[in-house]
A and B are shown apart, each in its own frame.
Chain A
Amino acid sequence: MVKISLVVTKRYKKSVSTSTPAILSLSLLLGLVISYVLIWFFTKLDPASFFSTFYSTLASYAGLLEPLLFLSLLGTAISVAFYGSFWNVGAEGQYVLGMLGAIYLVMFSPASSMLLGSDGTTAGVAKLLAVALGGFLGSLWSLLPGVLKAYTKIGEVPVMLLMNYIAYSISDYLTAGPWKGRYTYGYIRTDLIPESSKLTVIPGFEILRYEVVAAVAIVFIGAYLLIERTWLGLEIKVLGSNPVALRSSGRDEKKTIVLVSAISGFIAGLAGALRLLGYDYRLAYNIGDGKTGFYGYTAILVAWLSFRDLKLVLPSALIVSALSSFGYRMQMSLKGLLPPGVSAFAFSQIFIGVTLAVYTVIRITKEYSVKLVVAR
């Protein structure tokens, strides 16, 4: 019998010469070059159009802002969880639950008719409550795997992945059933939320909403204060780095797991609520078919790139936004050049894939040495 083992050992000394921002930029650069080579191999696309598309992606910063804001929010949510080694891959589901909470409050709850009355003076309260309910539901959605991990040691990752699909299903059930709209031109979706409950467009920046920008700032600063300045933040960090030390210091490890899962889910739910009130304005059927933009998943990349360093969440979110929007634009350039049967969408994902692969390889070889051992 042949047994092949990949032996990964932590290096003695950590290389101090390469800082994380340097690794980020290097990965981006190498990722672009390698992606181009791969694309050229199949399509013979000329370099000028490849790199000019990349340049124009960066130049049209407005298009990057909207994914940047949401990836920052969700990236912060997941990063906070990562500090405590709580691997929140369920932000997508929490994000959807946030949307459900928000639309329920502004369209279907008793509060909606009271608060969103004719004069509009209490619309602000309604929006606030909608966002809070979204956060609360997101928090509940994350709490369940948190409680399971803390009290039964069931790994959070598979539970959360499954719960993402449950969240999609709940949304689809409500959209096609009790919440189905009357003015939808035959589409299966809800009606639009009341005009007064929509978030406020910033004049001159069609893509921005006051409330979203404020939320990003508040969440980011709040998360930073939580992690760096509070007792709970300290406990979360010790949970993530040495849970035995947390226990022997007389802290309740289980409680900390539950709290960090709830906080992370709250932020993700908040992001979903803001998305619904500020951009989507309604729920559509088949939400799992890309209608969330898969931000909850993409944000895992943001958190991974900025691993346990909140300061890097914004730059990482920017890089990931640029890469996805570049991929989207490349789909246009690639049309007609690809061999039959290969989708342009698949190709558009190459950059994200390659860049993150390069990043992961650099990061792993920086801290670990890898060797293959074959036993027979």
Chain B
Amino acid sequence: MSMFFPPGRLILRVVGLTKRFPGVLALDRVSLELYSSEIHSILGENGSGKSTLAKIIAGIYTPDEGYIEILGKSVKLLNPIDAVSYGIYYIPQTPNLIERLTVVENVLMVMRSYGVFARTSSIRDLVVEEFRRIGSPVDPEARVSELSYTQRQVVELVRASLLRVRVLLVDEVTTYLPTSIRERFYGYLRKMKSEGRTVLLITHKVSEAVDVADRVTVLRSGRVVRTLERAEFDVDYVRRLMFGEDYSASELLKNALSSISITENRRAVVKLDRVWTASENGGPVLKDVELSVKPGEVLGIVGISGSGQRELAEVLVGLRPVKSGRYYVDGLDVTNRGPEVIRAAGVGFISEAPLYYNLSGDLSLVENLALAIRGRLFLPLKLLTSKTRELIEKYGIAAASPKTPVKVLSGGNVMRFAIARELEFAKKVLVVLNPSRSLDERFVSSFTSAIRKLSQSSNLSVIYISESLDEVLRVSDSIAVISGGRIVGTFTRESVEREVLEKLMVM
């Protein structure tokens, strides 16, 4: 397309960007250059400032210092509309679409040039053509609520494409995608690149950055550590840049190989006996599930996205009714007795979506901590506040104060806080659902080793549900594979080959 520049032209330059949030220096004099026809990855751990940087380029935040140049001219991006008018488009982790509108209507929403009373008929053909070009047909009249997560992201790509976007900011989009679909998504990004566009890929996954990007800029604590060319990509080196010199691959290995003890001949703390449950539409999503977890045992449950993991977690914490079968915690029949009884029986819950399942974004850290405990009449505010401070310190949560509302924290910090709270208060059982979706490698690694330690020192039983086989292999004593709502195999850690698990997962 003629509107794009030949490869290697300097499109966007970020100079000395600084951004402060209450109590946090999110970006510290960050500079960056983006060229046409490149996929440039911003890599950093949680709280390194990568999302802040992307949001400034997208006009969502305004910087405290520094400026942005587009094609050599300094510009002021005061809101996302300004950014779009300069050809910059931001795709967030959660697609920014209206569920009850159709695909075309959603596309039309961002097309300002069509005016306030725009009609969908005027762009339907364009949309269809664009989906075809990207190679992922989606019914333009389908409601977004009926689309899969991947299809929604494709709708975002089509919007970007139709807006003649020069710079596409992709913020942790692939985090939720299963591997096979992730590959396809990279294909779309490469296509965007081949047309002369620039893709800025924000990620905390080293492998992703190294696989897809032409150049990688590593951010640490709000500063640019280095920008690497393809020739310099080396996973171990990149990790060291990302986490600092104190870190090396051997640490990961050490955690992975930490002692594994199977606790035989002990009564199960958690027992699911032929449990069935239904989806929102009434169809079965868990089928005849049998599980048992002993004291101090970590049971990993692995499967590809959408195999019934979320529903299993919801049954275990009491949020979803059991249609048939029984559920016991420590010998007590808790089937359909609700979270009141199950939580009181000592079951904690760490979820992939803490702001949905576990925390109230509007309330402060202190109040959210209190939510994990029970009490009569007055809140012991002093005690709660000092406990919150302690957790902020111990888990490295970037929060201005214990009174900060949870919603102003970054995604990774919200997750850390949710984890901190449950690790402190789960007494017998901990249900963990896809924790690594918004966490970087280092935190996942210290989280999994904390889980291993707790399971051994406090006899905590853990059900660790994840889409990441590596993670499950690292943390579990035994492993069950879930597929199509059924447990299709249960193994001890030593007895199983990785390949067997992988095959079972896609069966």
Contacts and interface: CB of A to CB of B under 8 A. Distances in A.
Q: Is B one of A's binding partners?
A: yes
A207 B361 CA distance: 44
Nearest to B345: A250
Nearest to B104: A375
A230 B371 contact: no
A118 interface: no
Contact of A245 (B101, B118, B358): B358
Given A12-B55, A234-B371, A249-B372, A373 B379 contact: no
B318 to A, nearest CB: 8
Contacts of A376: 119-121
Contacts of B500: none
B363 A237 contact: yes
Interface of A: 5, 7, 9, 12-13, 229-234, 237-238, 241-242, 244-252, 371-376
A231 B372 CA distance: 11
Given A231-B370, A244-B319, A249-B339, A375 B105 contact: yes
- Specify the main secondary structure of chain A where it touches its partner: mixed
Nearest to B356: A244
22 contacts: A9-B96, A230-B378, A230-B379, A231-B374, A234-B371, A234-B379, A237-B367, A238-B371, A241-B363, A242-B359, A244-B357, A245-B360, A248-B339, A249-B339, A249-B343, A249-B372, A250-B343, A250-B344, A251-B340, A375-B108, A376-B120, A376-B121
A238 B349 CA distance: 17
A247 to B, nearest CB: 5
B349 A12 contact: no
Nearest to B96: A9
Given A12-B60, A234-B371, A241-B363, 13 more contacts: A7-B109, A234-B379, A237-B367, A242-B356, A242-B362, A244-B356, A245-B356, A247-B319, A247-B339, A250-B344, A252-B340, A375-B120, A376-B119
Interface in B335-359: 338-340, 342-344, 349, 355-359
A7 B357 CA distance: 27
Contact of A248 (B80, B358, B370, B381): B358
B503 interface: no
Interface of B: 55, 60-61, 80, 96, 98, 101-102, 104-105, 108-109, 116-121, 317-319, 338-340, 342-344, 349, 355-363, 367, 370-372, 374-379, 381
B116 A372 contact: yes
A372 B117 contact: yes
A242 B101 contact: no
Contact of A231 (B116, B317, B339, B379): B379
A233 B317 CA distance: 24
Contacts of B317: 248
Contacts of A372: 116-117
B98 A12 contact: no
B83 to A, nearest CB: 12
10 tightest Cβ-Cβ pairs between the two chains A and B: A250-B343, A241-B362, A242-B360, A241-B360, A375-B120, A12-B60, A376-B119, A249-B371, A250-B339, A238-B360
Contacts of B104: 375
A13 B96 CA distance: 14
Contacts of B108: 373, 375
B422 to A, nearest CB: 11
Given A7-B109, A234-B379, A249-B343, A373 B118 contact: yes
A249 B49 CA distance: 31
A12 B119 CA distance: 26
Contacts of B318: 248
A18 to B, nearest CB: 15
A298 B75 CA distance: 48
A371 B381 CA distance: 43
Contacts of A250: 339-340, 342-344, 374
A373 B101 contact: yes
B349 to A, nearest CB: 6
Given A12-B55, A237-B362, A247-B319, A231 B377 contact: yes
Contacts of B359: 242, 245
B119 A374 contact: yes
A105 to B, nearest CB: 29
Contacts of A244: 319, 356-357
A376 B141 CA distance: 11
Given A237-B360, A372-B117, A231 B319 contact: no
B109 A230 contact: no
Nearest to B342: A250
A13 B343 CA distance: 35
Given A12-B80, A238-B371, A376-B119, A248 B357 contact: yes
A56 to B, nearest CB: 41
Contacts of A233: 379
A361 B317 CA distance: 41
Given A5-B105, A7-B101, A245-B359, A374 B118 contact: yes
A13 B78 CA distance: 12
B379 to A, nearest CB: 6
Contacts of B60: 12-13
Contacts of A247: 319, 338-339
A6 to B, nearest CB: 11
